[in-house]
Amino acid sequence: METPEKLAEYTLHSDGIDADVVISRSFGRSMPDYDITLPVVNESMDIILKEIRAQLIREVPEKIQALSTELSQPLKAEFLQMVEEKLRKLLPAMSDQDYRSYAATLLHDMFGLGILEVIDTDPNLEEIVVNNSNTNVLVYHREYGWLRTNQRIATEGKIENYAQQIARKVGKQITLLNPLLDAQLANGDRINATLAPISQKGNTIDIRKFREEPWTLIDFLKNKTLTSELAAFIWQAMQYELSMIVSGGTASGKTSMLNVLIPFIPPAQRIITIEDTSELVLPKFMHWVPLLTRLPNAEGKGEVTMLDLLVNSLRMRPDRLVVGEIRRKEEAQTLFEALMTGHSVYATLHAETAQQVIKRLLSEPINLPDIEVSAMDIVLSMFRQRRLGIRRVLELAEIQETTVAGQTVLKVNDLFEWRARDDTIQRSVSQSLKIQSKLELYSGLSASEIAADIAEKKGIIEWMLRHNIPNIEKIGRISSLYYTDKDSLMKTVEKDGDPGEIEGY
């Protein structure tokens, strides 16, 4: 038998549990393994932890109730200390690490998601999936794709209990009568859960992890998700208030890309974002008003829809409108009406290509008129290559009107394209017609000056890449300086100076 190939090894830390992770690939296995070492709870330890649980429920019911709704650090620390003290009395011969580990195990089981709590601390993961109690937990790793863990949830009842705990924390319910749950935790993680028999093989939980530090332009350049030339082209378009749809399939990076690009907006402009799940994270200094939808309560009251927020936002004097995702006809109509009345709008849409974006917008159920769709300037299509575990800009295109057999039709003109053969994003041979003419009109620049402006922005972006600007706040500061103190910024860029030399960075 061949020895598994070790791909990675590291340690996770979660509330006192130190868990070693080994990722390896074995010959003939359908996917690599994600082996995590967790505290072993044998039958006798399980009895002891259940007894301690019962004691705490009797002795400090108010603290148990508080923890069931809010896992704050002070409450967690107090709970862990109480459990450790009881363990020391019952089992005086264990190590300090064992006391901490078993106290944390009880904390996770009572108020969290059991073994998933430790796995959830892995910053390399994008997704954690429980399909049922008969199969191992699966995870999606940023570098290695789908991995099979060596852990599984013991019973269907436990999976259901974890789903109900999530629901209680966000003020929702998941029951046999209401077997679907879609929620967002306080840490930003998105949770979806289903109960049998709706999910025929058992209860499920899917955790889409929220990245603590949002993706940045520098991350995307390093990952080859986009190029400095493409980023400079979009920066110029956003500076002069051209509107854009970011399209792509599920988990292709649409919202992350939108988040990366928003700091290119001039800092004095008012940005209103509308989402049903809070995912966008903008630099703190920007004039940003985030709005979030709300589901109805148990009596069916209190719902606030994306359409409600979109209509209301138009009364808030926005300079830029950002919509998390266009799903319904009414939302699309309102967004495009805002576009037609002079607002700069940005949105995401599920569609694989720019051509599919046009088809979706023109067809049922959205069914917008051609004249409105033609007002959108740019479509940036994202692509996820699952086999290689990469995300790329598939194309950047402009939407044009053309005449075919006497009829006006919409078509896309690709300006940048991803080439799979050599994994590069190249400028297309096609020349921009619509965007070029709009930029000349809005900026007053000639074609040569527009090209020089893109080259200047590309130089700034490549300078940021060389100096590894660390986060979206700092990148936003540099973008802001471009608008407010361009001379100082360009002097530093031209001599390849340190960003820290610039006042206001």
- For 458-474, the pLDDT digits (tens) are 999 999 999 999 899 99
Helix orientation angle between 472-484 and 447-466, rounded to the nearest 10 degrees: 140
Q: Is the pLDDT of residue 451 over 70?
A: yes
One-letter identity of residue 93: A
Comparing CA positions, the residue from 220, 69, 35 lying closest to residue 141 is 35
* SS3 label, residue 312: helix
Render pLDDT for 97-136 as a digit per residue (tens, 0 to 9).
999 999 999 999 998 899 999 999 999 999 999 999 999 9
Higher pLDDT: 389 or 433? It is 433
Q: Is the pLDDT of residue 503 over 80?
A: no
- Residue ranges covered by each domain of the chain: 43-111, 218-230+242-432
Question: In the predicted model, what is the mean pLDDT of the chain?
Answer: 92
Q: Is the pLDDT of residue 407 over 80?
A: no
Give the whole-angstrom CA distance, residue 302 versus residue 437: 46
Question: Residue 193's pLDDT is what?
Answer: 96
* SS3 label, residue 304: strand
CB-side neighbour CA atoms (13 Å) of 340:
13
Confidence of residue 171 (pLDDT cuts 50, 70, 90): confident
Render pLDDT for 278-318 as a digit per residue (tens, 0 to 9).
889 999 999 999 999 988 877 778 899 999 999 999 999 99
Q: Is the pLDDT of residue 445 over 70?
A: yes
Mean pLDDT of 78-92: 92
Mean pLDDT of 164-183: 88
Give the whole-angstrom CA distance, residue 26 versus residue 4: 4
In the chain, pLDDT over 90 holds for what percent of residues?
73
Render pLDDT for 37-68 as a digit per residue (tens, 0 to 9).
999 889 999 999 999 999 999 998 888 888 87
What pairing do the DSSP bridges indicate for beta strands 204-208 and 190-194?
A: antiparallel
Mean pLDDT of 212-241: 95
pTM above threshold 0.75: yes
What pairing do the DSSP bridges indicate for beta strands 125-130 and 180-184?
A: unpaired
- Tokens representing 425 are 């994003």
Comparing CA positions, the residue from 421, 377, 426, 472 lying closest to residue 227 is 426
- Tokens representing 463 are 């300078």
CB-based contact 137:154 (threshold 8 Å): no
CB-based contact 419:426 (threshold 8 Å): yes
What distances in angstroms separate CA 217 from CA 248, 377, 389, 478, one per listed residue? 18, 22, 19, 12
Confidence of residue 446 (pLDDT cuts 50, 70, 90): very high
Give the whole-angstrom CA distance, residue 334 versus residue 307: 8
CB-count burial class (<10 Å; 0-12, 13-18, 19+) for 154: exposed
DSSP annotation of 62 reads: H
Question: Residue 339's pLDDT is what?
Answer: 92
Give the whole-angstrom CA distance, residue 7 versus residue 144: 9
Confidence of residue 186 (pLDDT cuts 50, 70, 90): confident
What is Dmax (Cα atoms) for the chain?
89
- Tokens representing 452 are 């020089």
One-letter identity of residue 500: G
Could you write out the DSSP letters of every residue in 128-176?
A: EEE--TTS--EEEETTTEEEEES---S-HHHHHHHHHHHHHHTT----S
Question: Residue 301's pLDDT is what?
Answer: 85
Mean pLDDT of 429-456: 93
Measured in Å, how far apart are the chain's first and last C-alpha atoms? 57
CB-side neighbour CA atoms (13 Å) of 368:
27
CB count in 10 Å sphere of residue 96? 10
Cis peptide before 365 (omega within 30 of 0): yes
Give the whole-angstrom CA distance, residue 64 versus residue 105: 16
Q: Return the beta strands (E) in 51-137 as ranges.
A: 125-130
Confidence of residue 231 (pLDDT cuts 50, 70, 90): very high
Confidence of residue 27 (pLDDT cuts 50, 70, 90): confident
Q: Is the pLDDT of residue 71 over 80?
A: no
CB-based contact 101:17 (threshold 8 Å): yes
Comparing CA positions, the residue from 305, 211, 325 lying closest to residue 258 is 325
- Angle at 98 (CA atoms; ends 96, 102), nearest 5 degrees: 125
Could you write out the DSSP letters of every residue in 4-17?
A: PEEEEEEEEEETTE
Question: Residue 448's pLDDT is what?
Answer: 95
CATH class of the domain defined by 218-230+242-432: alpha beta
Question: Residue 189's pLDDT is what?
Answer: 87
Confidence of residue 273 (pLDDT cuts 50, 70, 90): very high
Range in 129-138, 164-173, 434-443 with the lowest mean pLDDT = 164-173
Confidence of residue 389 (pLDDT cuts 50, 70, 90): confident
CB-based contact 374:358 (threshold 8 Å): no
Question: Residue 1's pLDDT is what?
Answer: 56
Q: Is the pLDDT of residue 229 over 90?
A: yes
